[in-house]
Amino acid sequence: MEILLRELGKQLNDLTKEFYEKVLPPIDVYEQGNTLVVIVDMPGFDKSSISIRLSSDGVLRIEGKRDVEQAGIKHVAQRPSRMMREIRLPVKVPKDAEVTGKYENGVLTLKIPIEGAAKVKIE
């Protein structure tokens, strides 16, 4: 019985980890002036293991991989070792857009110019 419970626990941990790998990372997207700001929570990832791709049809793909160290006997292991999200951007991006990114304290912030948006100066 104990072996069966241990195996069920392992299967539940694997399913939970797989679930989180599909729904994470959480993403916020908002407009700030003539810029689209994308904020992605990716704690525990090294910036060199994060890959970002913006396709010509406005799909932003963010991927990250990490090694999850395991020392000793594993009881619960739900932290995802990889994450991938694709989102269709709600605005058009210029073809030659200069996208900037910053990864600090586990948070990735991307700034993407919006096509056709102009800042209006009021005098």
Q: How many domains does the chain have?
A: 1
Has residue 7 been placed in a domain?
Answer: yes
Q: Closest Cα partner for 34 from 122, 111, 123?
A: 111
Q: In which domain, by residue range, is 83 found? A: 2-68+76-113
| 119 located within any domain | no
Predicted model pTM: 0.73
**Among 86, 87, 103, 90, residue whose Cα is nearest residue 31:** 90
Grade residue 28 by pLDDT with cuts at 50, 70 and 90: very high
Backbone region of residue 58 per phi and psi (left: phi > 0; alpha: psi in -120 to 50; beta: other values): left
118 within domain boundaries: no
Regarding predicted confidence, which is higher, 8 or 25?
25
CATH number at residue 86: 2.60.40.790
Instruction: Render pLDDT for 69-86 as a digit per residue (tens, 0 to 9).
Output: 777 776 666 667 788 889
